[in-house]
Amino acid sequence: MAFTVVQLSDTHLLSDPSETWKGQVNPEVNLTTALRQAMKLQPDLVLLTGDLAHETDARPYQRIASLLNNLEVESAFIAGNHDLPSSISALCGPRIITDTVFRRGHWQFIMLDSTIEGEVAGRLSEDDQAAVSACLEGCQMPTLVATHHPIHIVGSSWLDGYGMQNGQAVCELLTGHACVKLAISGHVHQATSVRLDGLVSLSCPSTCYQFAPKCDTPSYQYNTRPGYRVLTLHSNGNFETNVVRFDVESR
């Protein structure tokens, strides 16, 4: 039986839930809309791939914890470069998985922190690479690896300049283990997909605002609908995925 994962990314909540992003988007309304609509798909797991809040205080994380703990399914998260380390690390509750590695639905999930404190770009530490290597050694279970920063190049020079600094090494680490079928990420606020030997690396739209693809400088796309990704994982390691764009509902 397939296991369905909903990936939400770059929710960028602000301290005040009524506040808007550059007068264009209310991150809180977008997140609650995305969750409400995604739950109709009856997923088995929700993954949040970083930038849960935007350089703020603890309040958005308390609201996210409340939202996630009220879902009918489990969720897990990783930090992004805009997250407050002390607050996101306190995110917990009965429905929130905080393990770095866990197994559900015949798949293994590895949730990795690719952030570097005080920097926009990311990196997977040597210790984390060693831990991943040990975890994957001899592993037969289909595996999904989640990072905030994509392990692949997305083709926008300004975003790739803020990407995973050691992405090539991480790619080699993951593609060196046949059990790794998927690498998922956020950070780039757009959907991309790249095949890297035996695995597929995917980035996700933001539930908040989008970046235009293939740009040399930052370009916001307020006319592009926000979105999330759905992953249907099969026990034999096969999977399907699609991106869902949504219209924002009023509260």
Please report how close the Cβ of residue 22 comes to Fe ion at its closest, in angstroms.
14
Q: By C-beta, is 43 or 150 nearer to Fe ion? A: 150
Q: Which is nearer to Fe ion, 80 or 237 (CB)?
A: 80
Angle in degrees, CA 12, 248, 163, rounded to 5: 35
Stretch that binds Fe ion, among 50-58, 101-109, 137-145, 229-237 (CB under 5 A): 50-58
113 part of the interface to Fe ion, by CB under 5 A: no
Q: What is the rounded CA–CA span in Å between residue 210 and residue 58?
A: 24
How does 32-52 read in b/e, with b if 16+ C-beta sit within 10 Å? bbbbeebeeeebbbbbbbbbb
State in angstroms the smallest separation of the CB of 94 from Fe ion: 27
Task: Find out whether 188 and 208 touch, Cβ atoms under 8 Å.
Answer: no
Minimum CB separation of residue 10 from Fe ion in Å reads 4
Q: Any residues with CB less than 8 A from the CB of 208 and at least 6 apart, and which?
A: 10, 11, 12, 21, 25, 27, 30, 31, 189, 226
Of 10 and 28, which CB lies nearer to Fe ion in the complex structure? 10
Q: How many CA atoms lie within 13 A of 135 on its CB side?
A: 23
* Two tokens, residue 22: 């550059």
Q: If binding means CB under 5 A, how many residues of this protein chain bind Fe ion? A: 2
- DSSP per residue, 14-45: -SSTT--BTTTB-HHHHHHHHHHHHHTT--SE
Q: Does 83 bind Fe ion (CB under 5 A)?
A: no
In the bound complex, what is the minimum distance in angstroms from residue 2's beta carbon to Fe ion?
29
Could you tell me the end-to-end alpha-carbon distance of the chain, in angstroms, rounded to an integer? 35
Residue 7's φ and ψ, nearest 5 degrees, are -105, 120
What DSSP designation does 191 have?
Answer: -
Contact code string over 2-41 relative to Fe ion, x by CB under 5 A: --------x-------------------------------
- Nearest distance in Å: CB 97, Fe ion: 22
- In the bound state with Fe ion, the residue whose beta carbon lies nearer, of 111 and 159, is 159
From the list 49-57, 110-118, 194-202, 222-230, the region that binds Fe ion by CB under 5 A is 49-57
Taking CA atoms, 156 is separated from 48, 195, 217, in Å, by 23, 18, 8
- The distance of closest approach from Cβ of residue 25 to Fe ion in the complex, given in angstroms and rounded to an integer, is 12
**Mask: binding to Fe ion, 141-160, rule CB under 5 A, as x and -?**
--------------------
Compare residues 10 and 128 and give the one whose CB is closer to Fe ion: 10
* 51 touches Fe ion (CB under 5 A): yes
Residue 188 C-beta: closest distance to Fe ion, Å: 8
Q: Footprint of Fe ion on this chain (CB under 5 A)?
A: 10, 51
